[in-house]
Amino acid sequence: MIPDSLRQRLDATDGQQTLTWQGREMVLFHQAWGQLAIALTGAQVVHFQPSGESPWLWLTPTPAEAPATLRGGIPLCWPWFGDERYADESPNRQGPFHGHARLALWRLDAVDEHEEGIEVHLSPEERLHSQLNVRLVIQANARRLNVELISENAGDAPVKTSAALHSYLAVDDAFACQLEGLAGARYLDKRRDFAESEQQGTLAVRGPLDRLYHSNAAVVVDDGRRRLNVAKYQSDSTVVWHPGTATLDDTHDSAVRNFICVESANTRLDPVWLVPGARHLLGTTLSRA
């Protein structure tokens, strides 16, 4: 479920390697516990695969060359989610969809290797906001992938933000998936002009979905082959997205059924206010259910 060109480089990696792929600087890890690949453009986890398993994250088989964005893995949405430009400092609130973080160059600050796995720390090469600092911590081992997006207000005035860890989960067939854990949650349906509804029972993917669930519960994604648990913290929004049968510009139609997005987020349902000196940690953890 990753392009052959990246698979070959991962399989040839012994330990840790930094290289250029599709015009992006990448950090690859291939160790006894499994594999991890991170694009330093956007600090984007693009691949995670415990030993003996198939990949847990989906990546388009037709990746665009940089500077285009890369569909798949876990793109970062920061310091706003979607077009909710809370943290934009310009009078007209101009800025890219989903914020600056996914377009910025990040640096590898530290890698802590231990017997069970690794912990990777990253931060932007340039400051992305006059008041907010941001960094990312990734922990990976044979049992789980944990991603933490940490925001801190280093300024002298409160700042309102939103964010998301836009996880593309690899599945055999999105239309055969069942999503457990959202029953009873209220949600806003972006496809119906943010109309509010309540989830009745298990969510099945039958067509295009774009929903903001007001929930802090873990979600289990069951595709009939694997049950993946998506836990989170300091997040009261869960975004569920799939384009249905719509054509995506950067992905073959045949590959669209191989992912479902379940995102730990802070959206218009639960924006974060950071007073000077305050810190917020948005996290997601993937593990076997």
How buried is 210 (Cβ within 10 angstroms: 0-12 exposed, 13-18 middle, 19+ buried)?
middle
Which residue has better confidence, 83 or 287? 287
Nearest CA to 280 among 236, 219, 239? 236
The confidence score (pLDDT) of residue 239 equals 98
Asked whether the bond before 67 is cis by omega within 30 degrees of 0, the reply is yes
Q: Are 161 and 274 in contact (CB under 8 A)?
A: yes
The Cα 209–Cα 182 span in angstroms is: 14
Q: Are 128 and 95 in contact (CB under 8 A)?
A: no
pLDDT band, residue 92 (cuts 50/70/90): very low
Which residue has better confidence, 273 or 2? 273
Average pLDDT over residues 253-260: 93
The confidence score (pLDDT) of residue 195 equals 97
Give the model confidence (pLDDT) of 171-223 as tens digits.
999 999 999 999 999 999 999 999 999 999 999 999 999 999 999 999 999 99
Residue 246 domain boundaries: 4-288
pLDDT band, residue 1 (cuts 50/70/90): confident
Average pLDDT over residues 266-270: 96
Average pLDDT over residues 32-39: 97
Other C-beta atoms closer than 10 Å to the C-beta of 133 total: 16
The H-or-E segment that residue 6 falls in is helix 4-11
- What value does the mean pLDDT of the chain take? 94
End-to-end Cα distance, the chain: 21
Give the model confidence (pLDDT) of 98-140 as tens digits.
899 999 999 999 999 988 999 999 999 999 998 999 999 999 9
The Cα 177–Cα 169 span in angstroms is: 11
For the chain, the domain total comes to 1
The Cα 70–Cα 59 span in angstroms is: 8
The confidence score (pLDDT) of residue 73 equals 98
The Cα 121–Cα 112 span in angstroms is: 9
CATH code assigned at 240? 2.70.98.10
pLDDT band, residue 21 (cuts 50/70/90): very high
Which residue has better confidence, 92 or 15? 15
Q: Are 282 and 149 in contact (CB under 8 A)?
A: yes
The confidence score (pLDDT) of residue 86 equals 63
Contacts of residue 287, defined as CB under 8 A and 6 or more positions apart, other chains included, come to: 143, 144, 145, 228, 229, 231
The confidence score (pLDDT) of residue 83 equals 81
Give the model confidence (pLDDT) of 233-251 as tens digits.
999 999 999 999 888 888 8
Give the model confidence (pLDDT) of 64-91 as tens digits.
888 888 999 999 999 999 888 765 554 4
| Percent of the chain with pLDDT strictly greater than 70 | 97
The Cα 218–Cα 231 span in angstroms is: 4
The confidence score (pLDDT) of residue 91 equals 45
Tokens for 221?
């994604």
